Structure 1
Amino acid sequence: MFDVIVVGGGPAGATAAEDLARSGHRVALLDRAGRIKPCGGAIPPRLIADFDIPDDQLVARITTARMISPTGRRVDIPIENGFVGMVDREHFDAFLRARARRSGARLFSGTFRRITRDAAGPQVVYRDKASGEERRVAARLVIGADGARSLVARAEVPGGDRIPYVMAYHEIIDAPAASGQYDPRRCDVVYDGRISPDFYGWVFPHGASASVGMGSMVQGVDLKQATADLRAASGLSACRTLRREGAPIPLQPLARWDNGRDVVLAGDAAGVVAPSSGEGIYYAMVGGRVAATAAAACLASGRVRDLRLARRLFMREHKTVFRVLGSMQRAYYRSDERRERFVSLCHDVDVQSLTFEAYMNKKLVGARPLAHLKIGLKNLAHLTRLVPSGYT
């Protein structure tokens, strides 16, 4: 009998398991071994500091972000006073699971099937990877951290079967030498309907390799062909492909993260990926931490309502950021003409400065009200077409 079973060993699940184990709880971590999520791999300084990520996990340090419009307009945004770290999820997720195990969590390798219950509490039924046999693990609580199409969420939490998502696909390739089109210290974000009609494509350096991919909500988009087109446009067609991965990325936090009984969600299962940017690693790890906090509170008090703390704590700090980013995505991602205006807006030094201050520190910056007003007026002018596309 464990105190908590965590289903899913990605950043959210591994963080929840580590936090609970460090605080003295008996923790089981069930992971489907071999799964690697498609991900650009960017992590901001706040994540590195808050979650004590060692330097050897960083495969690259990014000092510039380049926005590319549908017409090929390029805007380079320097990352002042720091860098964005890059990780390779194949190794980063394994590092987080190993750290949870060293903290006292017990790892199980297998595929989640269902949750059953008896008088003692819930039992997670899973297919063991080594034997292929169906087994079960008993605990007092379950944390579902099993991704955007979470089986735990679908079975246990109201609304868990209706989360909207973008289908993402990327290819990890051998990184080329630095050139006019590729810079190992720069992330390229491509806003072009020929690559993605409603999201974006990316070229993110990973040291000796690079992640090239895109995402879309539109049914019928050929993700592999779009990625091939992006590679061609970026001069990367000849680079050797190391692996290919695809998975859904959620676009909206669920209205509820617990079942009012013995289950609470974390990470993609709860829908905590930032709109507009698609950033998920930081928010997944925060989601794992607040799920662990809620589970520990419930175990200590015996009150199932304490499971609600997970969503409440997360939204207290990040609700406004998610609302602003969601509005940005709805305003600018719907057409190439709007994307062109968005990239034009990114020329503004105040937009650049405030955007990266917010990204690096995960807070909306309120210390420069005149800059906010200026950005708001420019944003309105672009959306109402008071300025021609291509002007800042």
Structure 2
Amino acid sequence: MPTTPDAAFDIVVVGAGPAGSAAALEAARAGKRVALLERGPYPGAKNVYGGVVYGRILDELVPRWWDRMPVQRWVTRRSTMMLTPTQALTVDFRTEDWGRPPYNGATVHRADLDGWLAGLAQEAGAVLVPSTTATGLLRGPDGAVTGVRTDRPGGDLTARVVIACDGVNSFLAKEAGLFDRVPGTQAQHTSLGVKEVLALPREAIEERFGLTGRHGQDIEIIGCTGGIPGGGFLYTGLDTVSVGVVLSVTGLAASGTRPEEVLAGLKSHSAIAPLLRGGEVKEYSAHLIPEGGHDTMPELATDGLLVAGDAAAMCLAAGIWLEGVNYALGAGMYAGRAAAAAVTAGDTTKAGLAGYRRALEDSFVLADLRKLRQVPELVFSDRVQRTYPGLLCDLAQDFFTVDNPRPKPGLRRLVTARARARGLKLRHLLSDALTGARSFG
């Protein structure tokens, strides 16, 4: 087994995030010589995510993963919150079923998660090459990818297949021309996530969020970004709370607003501030997120190269579903298997790597992204971002306001009056309802 970064490998995986580590794990399990490159000094060193990982894909990748994965809390309470500057309406669901194996989702810290996943790949035989950046692709006389250049002197790595898991704005996928057919600019399809991790006593978290033991809550928030397309989130860790906003890059630039100002506004909202009171900021971070959906994904393969995870825009931003890590894990797993099979077959051309696309087509990864391809545009529309949260909050306030001696108003009359006041026409409601029905039906 090679142990030096200048050795030849069967497969080089670039990026030790969830997609990359899953790819390296599966390829190494297949008996291939695998190098796993990581830009940071160790996997997770540069990652700032504190959110939810959903476990069903892990059932296949790491049996009984819940006995091994570094979990903060098991998510047993899932909430969607709609805000106006002075109102909040929350749909809140909790279940005991998610608090026992096989579990549904868990809050994690990426530094812990990435290190664990990369460790599994190493245990399977992959060689971790940290503090190394892939600066470009190596190509053979026929133009096929044959490895990667790195920023180490004399540290180029040759391979039969390269798997690019180098994150959003993947330079390797761009160099290979895989994004050439994606419409629009990348900025139009990208959001900026800004997050703070606040330390709070475990007892305070459990009291404020109504939790016990290792149970946790995931809150997704709409209407909290001050007119900039996006949303917010709040996740409970064991003794930390992660709070943040996700903002359209183009919308943020046009607004002239600093992202930390938007986050400060969310933290000070009357529905959020009591939950965070007394929290000590332990981490502030920002990260680009590919949220354009299926129609902004690049080609997934070319001769000698596969692309997976955020590098392939495999993030589901569908309002009630905001998921990325599980799609990265699935895509990485299938990429590792397809690359290993192609090496075994002696055909690492685009045709020889076509098993990757077939596996994705047969899985939730492309099925979900294709089915919900219209939802990102709907979610980022002005009506969903501003009109509907205000309308629903107004209706809730009207409905629960006791205005004796007047009789209680009918719901139809309230909806008509509030929709008219917000300039919402029937055709808008029908159009959005039809898009939602087609996507979620």
Q: Indicate the residue corresponding to 1:41 in structure 2.
A: 51
For residues 104-144 of structure 1, what are the alpha-carbon distances to aligned partners after superposition, in whole Å with 9 as ceiling and x for unaligned?
0001111121122356962312124xxxx462111111000
One-letter identity of the residue aligned with 1:126: T
Q: Indicate the residue corresponding to 1:203 in structure 2.
A: 234
Q: Indicate the residue corresponding to 2:113 in structure 1.
A: 92
Q: Does 1:10 align with 2:54?
A: no
Cα distance in structure 2, aligned partners of 1:382 and 1:178 = 40
Q: Structure 1: which 5+ runs fail to align?
A: 346-379, 388-392
Correspondences of 1:59-208 after superposition (within 5 Å): 59-70=72-83, 71-79=87-95, 81-83=97-99, 84-109=105-130, 110-118=132-140, 122-128=146-152, 133=153, 135-159=155-179, 163=186, 164-176=189-201, 177-178=204-205, 182-183=209-210, 185-194=216-225, 197-208=228-239
One-letter identity of the residue aligned with 1:215: V
Correspondences of 1:220-299 after superposition (within 5 Å): 220=253, 221-233=257-269, 234-235=272-273, 236=276, 238-251=278-291, 252-253=293-294, 254-259=297-302, 261-276=303-318, 277-299=321-343
SS at match of 2:97: coil
1:149 Cα offset (Å): 0.8
One-letter identity of the residue aligned with 2:174: R
Q: Structure 2: which 5+ runs fail to align?
A: 1-7, 100-104, 396-425, 434-441
1:170 Cα offset (Å): 1.0
SS at match of 1:171: strand
One-letter identity of the residue aligned with 2:121: A
Are residues 386 and 60 of structure 1, via their aligned partners in 2, closer, same or farther at CA, if it must alter by over 3 Å? closer
Q: How many residues align?
A: 348
Q: Indicate the residue corresponding to 1:337 in structure 2.
A: 387
Q: Indicate the residue corresponding to 1:321 in structure 2.
A: 368
What is the TM-score normalised by the length of structure 2? 0.72
Cα distance in structure 2, aligned partners of 1:340 and 1:201 = 16
For residues 88-108 of structure 1, what are the alpha-carbon distances to aligned partners after superposition, in whole Å with 9 as ceiling and x for unaligned?
101100111111111100011
SS at match of 1:272: coil
One-letter identity of the residue aligned with 2:429: L
Cα distance in structure 2, aligned partners of 1:134 and 1:171 = 39
One-letter identity of the residue aligned with 2:161: L
1:43 Cα offset (Å): 1.7
For residues 206-238 of structure 1, what are the alpha-carbon distances to aligned partners after superposition, in whole Å with 9 as ceiling and x for unaligned?
111121111111232522221222222222264
What is the TM-score normalised by the length of structure 1? 0.80
For residues 310-357 of structure 1, what are the alpha-carbon distances to aligned partners after superposition, in whole Å with 9 as ceiling and x for unaligned?
233213323342244343343344231134568999xxxxxxxxxxxx
Are residues 155 and 255 of structure 1, via their aligned partners in 2, closer, same or farther at CA, if it must alter by over 3 Å? closer
Cα distance in structure 1, aligned partners of 2:221 and 2:27 = 40
Q: Indicate the residue corresponding to 1:360 in structure 2.
A: none
For residues 275-308 of structure 1, what are the alpha-carbon distances to aligned partners after superposition, in whole Å with 9 as ceiling and x for unaligned?
2233111000001011112212221223311323
